[in-house]
Structure 1
Amino acid sequence: MSAKGNFLVHVKALSSIFKAKMRDELTKARIADNIPPEVWNQDWVVHCKSVGDGRAIIKYLGSYVFNVAISNTKIVDYDGENVTISYKKKNSNRTRKLTISVMEFIGRFLLHVLPHGFMKIRYYGFLAPACKTSLQQIREMICRLYEILRDIVLVKPPKKSKADSIRNQHTSPFHGECNFTHAKSIYI
């Protein structure tokens, strides 16, 4: 099976790999027995698509990383049996209301609670509270590293390829704070 177009891996192959890895991880976690056996006999489809420059993904994930599942301001009413919440549909500014049972609300809320032992992303790396390095210092270090690598790693460029056009499209995530336009000259 070969990938067509701009795909790295054919969707059927990717789906088989994903299903096998998922089953392995569930087995390691000792919860694979809770999955109905017919799930493993079905064909899986792994949906992958380009995320563009990543801004939409950062915006989407940011709400999960830095906020709870629902803020108190979104809970409009609670009558002992039902909870009414306000929300906005994707691509709409209109506020809507949804009334659901308390148990449904709790179930939906718990979908966003991390399992025991997991931590939010912000507790790791440069976002950890103990990290004293500022974001500006990190940007400066990355730019300096780029300059060092640019001077050290330059070798004879290979013939033009499809990869060159991808390298040439790369833009700096630092909005001009350091220039990555020479990245097309670096070959490892």
Structure 2
Amino acid sequence: MRERPLPRLLAAALILAAPASLTLPVLAAGQDDVLKCLGILDNGARLACYDRTVPALRNSPPGAPAAPAAPTAPAVLPPVAKEQSFGAERITDKSNPAVAARPQEAEAITAKLVSISQQTIDRYSFTLDNGQIWTQVVARSIANAKPGKMVKIEKGIVGSFTMTIDGVSGIIKVRRVK
């Protein structure tokens, strides 16, 4: 008669699984710290929490509880004016301070037109006194637009922006490039 291998397989599985089960409380203790970090809403503070917690998990020997992370104050970013960040969500340059720290945005801005550059026929780029540069999305004549005039840029539908210029009839569809 042939011997059944099932009891031997079960015994081998229990022996192999025993060391893993002995480290479960250590992982659970480290996971508690990581889960606390997960609950932090501010991106910078959450990253700082992970930076404090994960090295403690890596440096702790197996079977030893992870060292608790030392509490530190969350990093406070310098406030960026709402006007400076207006339309910045479309800029992909991460070195731009308006992109790096995005506070709650304004719904519209007003500024003085510093210069107008023609990109193509009936398509222009506008530099404002606050340093922002906006470009026309839809070609349109802007015959009366001149430097020194006031402009108003408002949020449009589905992430678009519209510009009105004093003395120029109608709206101009624009996107922010800087």
TM-score normalised by L of structure 1: 0.19
Q: Which has the higher contact order (CA 8 A, sep 6+)?
A: 2
Greater fraction strand: 2
Greater fraction helix: 1
TM-score normalised by L of structure 2: 0.19
